Amino acid sequence: MIRANKELDLLRSYRRLMRGEKGRSGLLHHFLTPAAGCLLVCVLIWGVLLLRNSSLSSLTDDVNDWLLDPAVTQQYSEAADRQQYNDSLVQALGQVQALTGYDADTGALRFDAQSTSVIDIPGYVLKLQSLGLFRKVDYTGYTYEDGMYVLSLNCILQGKETAE
């Protein structure tokens, strides 16, 4: 037999229906919120990096403009020329300091010749004699120190008489 008095509780059905939709939207909300948060953080980081890159690019452009300024390049070339002149003076001073002695009374000049390769002593002495600057050229031998061959020379300049 069919029961005709079936109770319909529409309010209860409506509440169940609403709880089910809330559950579905809550589930969707549960997955979308972290993704949206991550996206927001990534966009913020990208914006900060974009601003930082822009400021660094501006700073780099300023430095490049300064480097290409004609006044700066002129100052740099003057400084490089001065440095080269100073280096030549230091080298000349080193050569002067390499002289171990000059006696103006006798015309005797004592110095050390240095080379990284083996010195051809007889050839070197003959070249010094052939210059015509020295009346007498003597050498005491050579030593090997710190990767350099050092030849000790004693030369008497032309025109000076010595008390031998």
pLDDT in tens, 62-112: 999 999 999 999 999 999 999 999 998 888 887 777 665 777 788 888 888
**Which residue's structure tokens are 């390499």?**
98
**Residue 59 within any structural domain of the chain:** no
Tokens read off for 152? 């000790």
**Residue 90 within any structural domain of the chain:** yes
**Residue 125 within any structural domain of the chain:** yes
Q: Which residue segment(s) compose the domain that 147 sits in? A: 82-157
What are the backbone dihedrals phi and psi of residue 136, each rounded to the nearest 5 degrees, phi first?
-145, 135
**Residue 104 within any structural domain of the chain:** yes
**Residue 15 within any structural domain of the chain:** no
Q: How many structural domains are present in the chain?
A: 1
pLDDT, tens digit (0-9, with 9 covering 90-100), for 35-65: 889 999 999 999 999 999 999 999 999 999 9
**Residue 29 within any structural domain of the chain:** no
pLDDT, tens digit (0-9, with 9 covering 90-100), for 107-136: 888 888 888 887 677 788 888 889 888 889
**Residue 134 within any structural domain of the chain:** yes
Single-letter amino acid, residue 16: R
**Residue 99 within any structural domain of the chain:** yes
Single-letter amino acid, residue 39: L
- The pTM score is 0.38
State the Rg of the chain over Cα: 47
CATH number at residue 144: 3.30.30
Question: What residue spans of 8-158 are helical by DSSP H?
Answer: 10-67, 70-98, 121-130
